[in-house]
Amino acid sequence: MAAVKEMGQLLRMLFEVEREFVRTVAVLIPRVGNIELKYLLCQHVWESAGHARFISERGRELTGFGKGDAVRESYRSIFEEAIRVEDPMVGLTGFYKVLKPALLDAYRHYLESTHHLADWPSRKLVEEFIVDEERHLREMDPYLSQTNDRDWEQHLSIALDGLGGWLGESDRKALPEGFDWNWEELPYRHPDTCNRGEYPLCSSVFGHDPESDPIVREWLEDPNTDARVVRLMVFIWLMMELDAVDYLSPIFYDTTDAPFDLHYDLARHLWDESRHSAFGYRQLPKLKVDLGTLEHSLDLYNILIQMSPPERYAMMTMEFEAGSFATKAHVMDRVRELSDFEADTLLAFDRNDEQQHVRFGHRWLPEIMRLFGEEGSVEAFVESSRKRFKALEKEFGGKTPHSLSPEVRLTGNKLRAIAEVA
């Protein structure tokens, strides 16, 4: 059984690397400004979580894989080091020019080390993951082509050389004298606000003034509102689910000791929210909306990042998402009047995904509460989280001024004019 045990141990190492990638690279999502890059990172997090899931399922069939989801400290140290960098784009170079290429090498080493027939199930998985890893590097390359920090890449390479690669496939090299682990002295802290790059900003896109706000709350519910206006407003609403992308992504790091199944569902949740945002991001220009005039709202991130991870997750799943069903059902009925198959499809998948997210909340909020020592019922905790959110809203909400004047920025009245032409 020695060969089985050896391959099981190698699979375990690959599982741990994929899991740590998911846990740590996610903290860079709120810190990067390019919207397409945020979407791509969410996709890579989801796909990497899938790799870890399939490896885990296969590994548990083999002697040597081990029980539980823990990650060895030597791996964790390197991934912790990878996020101790001020510039998020430099951070991404560390992941995609050092750590991910090393993972690709590890997968290739696995194929070279195992038997083509005896270990066929593992080989088929690894062959697919190699294709994914090669694609990940190609997809990220355009974003990193202008980023060059050789010192940081060398720093992480030296740290990884100390292990001899993820699978120990190379000779281990002793860390040079004077090598400092930044993570040991520098605690990680999430940014106080999220980065939206070149886009104009505001506190919230929801309001009551059609001369100032793009989503007029009363218009969403008013049966006399033109369905074409409702469609535009709901696509803005969807695009602003980028808020959820930014405030959900730090929870991976905040729940380091969570079961992997929790992170797997978080990865799916994150990817869903990025797709929902992309629904609006891609549809609005087709409907004659200039995205350069649409301000991005920052209030939700700015408030929620002040809350504990279980409070943040409670508000997201049990308040915002659960509380949106009635309004979104009405909006779906209105949009259906337009016989717009694509809009109907996008809204239907958004609704289906959100229902799944609420189920995630019911499953995982008790576990996150346990991780943070929160006692009492889930219902009482959700209610206390609502009250704390309202208190924090007074202190941290409404602090982002409009980047654009009312004459320039997208408003409800301007949406009405666009709808008449589109």
Residue 28 resides in a domain = yes
Same domain, 208 and 159: no
Question: 355: part of which helix (H) or strand (E)?
Answer: helix 341-371
CB 52 within 8 A of CB 260: yes
Same domain, 139 and 264: no
Structural domain count of the chain: 2
Same domain, 138 and 249: no
Residue 2: what pLDDT? 76
Mean pLDDT by 10 residues, the chain (422 residues): 91 98 98 98 98 97 94 97 97 98 98 95 98 98 89 96 95 92 94 97 97 96 95 97 98 97 98 98 97 98 98 97 92 95 96 96 98 97 98 97 96 95 72
Residue 142 resides in a domain = yes
Residue 403 resides in a domain = yes
Residue 186: what pLDDT? 93
Residue 405: what pLDDT? 96
Same domain, 233 and 123: no
Residue at a domain's end among 184, 218, 237:
184
Same domain, 144 and 18: yes
Is residue 252 exposed (0-12), middle (13-18) or buried (19+ Cβ within 10 Å)?
Answer: buried
Residue 384: what pLDDT? 98
Return d(Cα 194, Cα 255) in angstroms, integer.
Answer: 20
Return d(Cα 325, Cα 361) in angstroms, integer.
Answer: 15
Residue 193 resides in a domain = no
Same domain, 251 and 396: yes
Residue 422: what pLDDT? 67
Same domain, 170 and 263: no
Say which CATH number the domain at 73 has. Answer: 1.20.1260
Same domain, 117 and 217: no
Residue 191 resides in a domain = no
Same domain, 363 and 398: yes
Residue 231: what pLDDT? 97
Q: What angle separates helix 378-396 from helix 341-371, to the nearest 10 degrees?
A: 110
Same domain, 117 and 239: no
Residue 196 resides in a domain = no
Same domain, 391 and 325: yes
Q: What angle separates helix 2-25 from helix 73-82, to the nearest 10 degrees?
A: 30
Give the Cβ contact number of residue 179 at 10 Å.
Answer: 11
Beta bridge partners of 83: none
Residue 145: what pLDDT? 87
Residue 147: what pLDDT? 82
Residue 389 resides in a domain = yes
Same domain, 273 and 171: no
Residue 192 resides in a domain = no
Return d(Cα 251, Cα 205) in angstroms, integer.
Answer: 25
Boundaries of domain holding 15: 2-184
3-state secondary structure of 201: strand
Q: CB under 8 Å to 394, separation ≥6 — which residues?
A: none
